[in-house]
Amino acid sequence: MTYPIEKTDADWQKLLAEKGAEPAAFQVTRHAATERPFTGKYETVWADGSYHCVCCGNKLFDSDTKFDAGCGWPSFSEAVPGSIKEIVDHTHGMIRTETVCAQCGAHLGHVFPDGPTPTGLRYCMNSASLDFDPNK
């Protein structure tokens, strides 16, 4: 799959290092790793603002869609329209829906059909794939 923003692994590593991204950011975003539950820096952040892709800055979620799902990862009920692509994920012996940034293909997490109304969705994201902006 191609995306509007494409870079080599070396370029992504350099960019994330220059941004001061957390150490797991490269493995999470570019190689679909997952941070351990309840360890991400945004799991318990409840401030007003917006969440963006740590790789390219694409706005992904508004803070008013964040909720405590109890799963150990930042969870949202709704993504910014057009900001995320969904991919069927057959890893780990199950079928899930992976979410990636629509601009650069960064792995963000997974979406599940057990969230709150009105969407009924639970976007569980890795903190390492996100940047928080308090200015929305």
Domain chopping of the chain, boundaries: 9-133
State the pLDDT at residue 124. Answer: 96
What single-letter amino acid sits at 136?
K
Which among 53, 56, 104, 124 is annotated as catalytic? 124
* Cα–Cα nearest to 127, from 38, 40, 28: 40
Does the annotation mark 124 as catalytic? yes
The structure tokens listed for 55 are 């790789």
What is the pLDDT tens value at each position of the chain, 136 positions in all? 899 999 999 999 999 999 999 999 999 999 999 999 999 999 999 999 999 999 999 999 999 999 999 999 999 999 999 999 999 988 878 788 999 999 999 999 999 999 998 899 999 999 999 999 999 7
- The CA radius of gyration of the chain, in Å to the nearest whole number, is 14
CATH ID of 9-133, from 2.40.50.140, 3.40.50.10210, 3.40.50.2000, 2.170.150.20: 2.170.150.20
What single-letter amino acid sits at 13?
Q
**66 close to 132: Cβ distance less than 8 angstroms:** no
* Cα–Cα nearest to 127, from 104, 112, 113, 107: 107
